[in-house]
């Protein structure tokens, strides 16, 4: 049993380790943080909670829990084309375990540091393990990427590869056997999603709309289509699958994961024809991979071409 108070926890594991930014007038240690906003930009705010046994299995390492809790929040900012600046951490712990906290803090700042993202405040309480992060960022007015901007005729793109995190989750849940290296790859994709911040910044002023893939392509693209009041046609054989996923599963099963499994945290975005060449050149020049998977059309609904299984519209639902 540890004698750490919540004040020790904040000071020792969090306040000390965060990067310090010049636009944080007052960080951890008062009733609230004081932050300096840029005059010509919009503030971008998102929050996401991860809960033990809901968002991650009980055995997940503390550094991975922290990494993912921050990554899923950053992913929301990426989908807006925003630059992350600051975050708040509400951490609920059953006990104050120094080793666990050390690892958690390390995973958290491992992701925060390269983005020069400062932990500016938070709250530590006792209870069932749960992490809520609120991330704050900025985007120039008029340049934010919305779900509602897709236009008929836009090409639909996704970044990276899809379905890998879905197989990672199956590995955790069912103990599927895979060669060591492949297993590691899928677990890494599940536990350490890479928020597509840099790609989001590139898409500003080029893409018509964007969303991040947290609940699965069909579900999340569905939100984008609803917001934009349009439909889409997806070429299932164009879905980008990793070599590991293609090796691990029959094609149709791999495609099923790419369509319906969540947790990839890639971006799905739509691009008007006139911007396509320029934008793709920039994306590839910056070293990002993205793949055209279909097209936005006026007729509402989502058509999957080249896929014989029945379409499951829902992604993960918390209250089935």
**33-62 residues near a second copy, rule: CB under 8 A:** 33-37, 39, 42-49, 51-55
Per-position x/- string for 186-215, each x denoting binding to a second copy as judged by CB under 8 A, each - no binding: ------------------------xxx---
β pairing state of 231-235 and 301-305: parallel
**Beta strands 83-93 and 118-126, pairing class:** parallel
**Which region among 111-119, 129-137, 237-245, 271-279 touches a second copy (by CB under 8 A)?**
129-137
92 part of the interface to a second copy, by CB under 8 A: yes
CA 302 → CA 157, 270, 271, distances in Å? 15, 14, 17
Neighbours of 42 (CB within 10 A): 17
Q: Which residues 156-175 are close enough to bind a second copy by CB under 8 A? A: none
Judged by CB under 8 A, which of 26, 176, 247, 312 binds a second copy?
A: 26
- Choice between 67 and 269, CB closer to a second copy: 269
Ramachandran angles phi, psi of 230, nearest 5°: -135, 175
Residue 119 near residue 28, CB atoms below 8 Å:
yes
Q: Decide if residue 221 touches a second copy (CB under 8 A).
A: no
Which residue among 70, 88, 171, 254 contacts a second copy (CB under 8 A)? 88
Among 107, 121, 240, 272, binds a second copy (CB under 8 A): 121
Assess contact for 260 and 215: CB atoms under 8 A. Answer: no
Q: Of residues 279-308, which lie at the interface with a second copy (CB under 8 A)?
A: none
Element (H, E) at 254: helix 251-260
Considering only residues 140 through 159, tell me which ones interact with a second copy, judged by CB under 8 A.
Answer: 141, 144, 146-148
Interactions with a second copy, residue window 223-252 (CB under 8 A): 227
Q: Could you tell me the smallest distance in angstroms from the CB atom of residue 48 to a second copy?
A: 5
Dihedral over alpha carbons 87, 91, 96, 99 (to 10 degrees): -50
132 binding a second copy? (CB under 8 A): yes
Q: How far apart are the first and last CA of the chain?
A: 38
């Amino acid at each position: 049993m540890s004698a750490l108070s919540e004040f020790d926890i904040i000071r020792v594991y969090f306040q000390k380790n965060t990067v310090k930014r010049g636009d944080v007038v007052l960080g951890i240690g008062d009733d609230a943080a004081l932050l300096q906003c840029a005059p010509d930009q919009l503030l971008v705010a998102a929050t996401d909670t991860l809960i033990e046994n809901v968002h991650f299995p009980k055995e997940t390492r503390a550094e991975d829990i922290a990494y993912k809790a921050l990554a899923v929040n950053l992913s929301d900012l990426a989908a807006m084309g925003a630059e992350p600046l600051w975050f708040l951490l509400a951490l609920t712990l059953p006990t104050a375990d120094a080793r666990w906290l050390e690892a958690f803090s390390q995973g958290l700042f491992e992701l925060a540091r390269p983005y020069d993202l400062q932990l500016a405040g938070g709250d530590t309480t006792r209870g069932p393990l749960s992490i809520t992060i609120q991330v704050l960022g900025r985007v120039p007015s008029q340049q934010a990427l919305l779900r509602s901007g897709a236009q008929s005729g836009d090409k639909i793109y996704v970044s990276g590869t899809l379905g890998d995190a879905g197989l990672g989750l199956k590995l955790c849940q069912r103990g599927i056997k895979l060669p060591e290296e492949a297993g590691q790859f899928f677990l890494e994709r599940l536990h350490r999603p890479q928020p597509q911040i840099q790609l989001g910044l590139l898409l500003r002023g080029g893409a018509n709309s964007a969303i991040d893939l947290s609940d699965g392509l069909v579900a999340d693209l569905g939100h984008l289509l609803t917001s934009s009041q349009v439909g889409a046609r997806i070429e299932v054989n164009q879905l980008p699958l990793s070599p590991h996923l293609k090796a691990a599963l029959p094609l149709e099963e791999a495609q099923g994961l790419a369509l319906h499994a969540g947790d990839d945290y890639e971006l799905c975005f739509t691009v008007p024809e006139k911007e396509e060449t320029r934008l793709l050149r920039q994306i590839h020049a910056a070293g990002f991979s993205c793949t055209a998977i279909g097209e936005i059309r006026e007729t509402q609904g989502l058509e999957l071409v080249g896929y014989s299984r029945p379409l499951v519209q829902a992604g993960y639902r918390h209250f089935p």
